[in-house]
Chains A and B, each alone.
Chain A
Amino acid sequence: MNRPIKKVAIFCLALFAALFVNANYIQFVNASSYSSHPDNRRNLIYAFQNPRGQIIVDGKPIATSTPSSGILKYQRQYTNGPLYAQATGYFSVNFGSTSIEHYENSLLQGTDARLATQQFLNTIENKGKSGGSVVLTLNAAAQQAAYNGLSKAGGGKEIEGAVVALDPKTGALLALVSAPSFDPNSLATHDTKAEASAANALKSDPLQPNLDRALSQTYPPGSTFKIITSAAAMDNGINGQPVDENTVIPSPLNVLTFKDTTASLSNDAGETCGNTTLIQAFTLSCNTVYGTVGLDVGGAKLQAEAEKWGFNQTGPSVPMNAVTSAFPKNLTFDASVAQSAIGQFNVRMTPLQGAMMAATVANGGVTMAPYLVKQELDTKGNVISTTEPKQLYNPITSQQAGQLKDMMVSVVQNGTGTAAQINGVQVAGKTGTAQRGTGQNALAWFVSFAPADNPKVAVAVLVQDNNPNAGDVYGGTLAAPIAKDVIQAVLGSQR
């Protein structure tokens, strides 16, 4: 009987051999594919295993990691969460991450290759791993002014909007606000139920608080686009004649009509502007004059000019990717050309693009690439990288920029943008009141920079008042005061 018993013994050992071979397969050969499965919560647990680096504004942390009880060892906390929500984004247990939390994840998490040596030493010193930190370019005072301004605009109800402020000389973002905002802490909680209900509340909110209006939404720029139309006229001349700010544009009509369409173009109060200079038309934001200028320049050249300023180009990464601002291609109808020349029809831009437009004028015609990360720090707080300002576009000459600056100063001094005047500081700006569909309030824009002679800050403000009883909405009344506050905050903090 021993022979079959031995055979059975061999069979049993073969079973064990199969277990052993298979264990090698699942624990070694196939391990990484199992480990990277999105359902595997271990990745998440490990992500919360060590303290995550800080996000810092003006020397103060606005996102920190604090020890937490439970499986997830550290809790992400945002100081002034709603104020900085668009910049920090959130780092959620179940809903991923956004903005800086997303784009700087490897550094904040401590997995960045540049931290490898330090992490190794930390392990040897038995200190445990930790993340590196990110210093933002934001100016706390400017951010607060922008946030407060949008919160208070139009009585603070049903307001959507965005403020982007940047340093025209470097492209560093000084304020980045989208309203309404949300509290990233509600999405960072480890309480799965609270987290889910916060996410649902955000999703079902008609005002979409987690939408980044500053970078990822485009709006008709309205009259702010006249900056580019003016530049196109200066670049190309009109009827073979060179154009500057004092060129007289004949425009006798109070309404522009076009062939083959009932569409027309008129001024806000139905007035005629008469034969005015370019600077005069710009100051009063005269639509009929700019419609005429657009027609004189022509759709193709207008498009080429807009594209030099960044329209129809891939939006910059700050590091969040801004969407593309659009100028309609291959315009054929006069009505479309004239409307595009005053920033209507299918022209759309992000608030970031608006700020870049003002910054370009402020910076002598050179657009600097906007950026949000000033420095990256290692786990001990030493600087490992500092962002170098980069030139992005150069659409106009410094001479043209000077003329456009004069025109924008005129707007604030004696035009539609007087609400942005600041005692002792020369502010340059351009209002925009962009019409939308019937039944919708106009969008209020203000793009500006200051001080005009040595610009420190360029600001774009967009306010969309959804209140049906808001009455007439103007860029000069609704958006300009916010821009003024932001400018004052920046200048005040630099004094």
Chain B
Amino acid sequence: MRMTSTPLAAQAAHPPGEPHVPKRRNIEALLLVFALGIALFAYADTGKAMTGKTPPNLAALGAEFGITLLAAHLVVRRFAPYADPVLLPVASMINGLGLVLIYRLDPYNIANKLAPKAGAAPNQAIYTVLGMAVFIVLVIFLRDHRVLQRYAYISALVGLFLIALPAVLPASISEVNGARSWIRLGGFSVQPAEFGKLLLVSFFAAYLHAKRDALALASRRFLGLYLPRGRDLGPILVCWAFAMLILIRETDLGVSLMFFGAFVIILYMATERTSWLLFGLLLFVGGAAAVANMSSHVMVRVHAWLHPFSDVTGQTRQLAQSLYAFANGGLFGTGLGRGYSYQIGFANNADFMLATVGEELGLVGLTALFVAYAIIVVRGVKTALLVRDPYGKLFAAGLAATFALQVFITAGGVTRIIPLTGLPMPFLAYGGSALMANWILVALLIRISDAARRPLPPAIPLSDEMTQVVQA
């Protein structure tokens, strides 16, 4: 298999003795066909369940999605040939499933003015193409991820700006359902934090890599823990203060938790000091608890989390409805198009998208989706382990951990592990900015994994001649 799938020319390019690295592009192609098949089958099944016949545009949409996937695949084949072969197919599969679920919820959402008149699915289809276009552009033009390291401080500024922007804008522009994490202008809305988080992860990776020695080594040992010096506390305190500001101004626990969590995790990976983790955790929990006591929005969320059935027609309605949906799904689910999760109402196709998966695909389908998310995380971590440069390591691991955090915060919110925070389910939820940001994340991982697995250029052969003393 290995020998037959590798072109002879490529083999010849390797000097003898170099370990042969397979590109695995054909596997990616095969998995993409599989992802396309799952999405189309789900679409046909949903249409049949809801209208009694397969959707008329099945073939057209299938061709469109297929061409998009093919384009992405060809670009990866050409510009990142050593990239991880699993990332793109898994992301595509979740994206496709998300499209189907949005289509599935559309009839209710259109009727209740929760979606545009023509439905949210056509928009999401456009966002999907746009997202993958951004993916393609990034894979083509970002030839080396280390370029980003150079722009660390600009990334930080832009990232902070994007995250903080909704907080300083008037609530009429930025507030949706109590949390101010949006920018809405003329029917167009963006969640800037989705992009901001990527830039900040890049900055954290670059900055903490540079400062890791000071943060790791200059510390005193106390009770088995390395306590950082006072002046080294600066960065974490700044980040903490910023996270608290987000929480207070934007009342967005999700963004705040993800932002600070990403920082602490990268800090830990850079320094390998458990004390930073403990310190960060204490800071966040303490701060969040204090803010929760002040902010009614956060307090309501916490109360709904503790008592989800205390106000089923008011403040705990969505969470209660979400739990009903999961419960109704049981082990195997009602089947696509046969559930009633749309009763969640607002955000049933975004933050609460998972409830539809739980109800219509059951525990089995939900577990499969979790595994798919976990595969992206694991592949990201594997990339981090393989890549050679420390910035790349921190960046890839940071991206993977941020992704895992977002999945956990969102899924945990709608399944009542933690209070609801209002982050969209990655790749699944309706929304252009989140989808685009997630495709950027995958593009970055693809780029770094290509660098990780790409064989080193052959060393310049040493001369056989004796070393000569150069005389001037």
Contact = CB atoms under 8 A, between A and B. Distances in A.
Given A19-B411, A22-B412, A27 B327 contact: yes
A3 B417 CA distance: 29
Contacts of B42: none
Interface stretch (A32-40, A83-91, A134-142, A347-355): A32-40
B interface: dominant SS: helix
Nearest to B362: A27
B374 A39 contact: no
Interface string A187-212: 00000000000000000000000000
B327 A30 contact: yes
A71 B337 CA distance: 12
A162 to B, nearest CB: 38
Contacts of A31: 326-328, 330
B331 A18 contact: no
Interface residues of B, number: 48
Given A8-B269, A34-B323, A27 B329 contact: yes
A23 B363 contact: yes
Contact of B265 (A2, A8, A30, A41): A8
Contact of B343 (A24, A34, A41): A41
A495 interface: no
Interface in A302-335: none
Contacts of B312: 37, 39
Contact of A20 (B323, B330, B367, B393): B367
Given A19-B417, A41-B340, A27 B363 contact: yes
A37 B374 contact: no
A349 B312 CA distance: 43
Contacts of B366: 23, 27
Contacts of B309: 37, 39
A35 B340 contact: no
A37 B374 CA distance: 33
Contact of A15 (B270, B326, B384, B404): B404
A5 interface: yes
B415 A23 contact: yes
Interface in A8-53: 8-9, 11-13, 15-16, 18-20, 22-24, 26-28, 30-35, 37, 39-42, 45
A8 B401 contact: yes
Contacts of A42: 324, 328, 340
B272 interface: yes
Secondary structure call for the A interface: helix
A299 to B, nearest CB: 54
Nearest to A41: B343
Interface in B117-164: none
B408 A15 contact: yes
A113 interface: no
Interface in B368-424: 370, 373-374, 377-378, 381, 384-385, 390, 393-394, 397, 400-401, 404-405, 407-408, 411-412, 415-417
Nearest to A71: B340
Given A1-B269, A45-B340, A15 B405 contact: yes
A39 B320 contact: yes
B313 interface: yes
A35 B417 contact: no
A241 to B, nearest CB: 71
A127 interface: no
Contacts of B417: 18-19, 22
Given A12-B377, A18-B408, A40-B324, A23 B269 contact: no
B415 A19 contact: yes
B394 A1 contact: yes
A424 interface: no
A9 B381 contact: yes
B324 A27 contact: no
Contacts of A20: 367, 370
Contacts of A259: none
A446 to B, nearest CB: 50
Given A9-B397, A16-B408, A39-B313, 10 more contacts: A1-B393, A5-B397, A7-B268, A16-B407, A19-B370, A23-B415, A26-B415, A27-B329, A30-B327, A32-B327
29 contacts: A2-B385, A4-B270, A4-B271, A8-B269, A8-B381, A8-B397, A9-B378, A12-B400, A12-B404, A13-B377, A16-B374, A19-B415, A20-B370, A22-B412, A22-B416, A22-B417, A27-B327, A27-B329, A27-B331, A28-B363, A30-B327, A39-B309, A39-B312, A39-B313, A39-B320, A40-B328, A41-B343, A42-B340, A71-B340
> Which 5 pairs across A and B sit closest by C-beta, in order of nearness?
A34-B327, A12-B404, A31-B327, A15-B408, A39-B312
Interface of A: 1-9, 11-13, 15-16, 18-20, 22-24, 26-28, 30-35, 37, 39-42, 45, 71
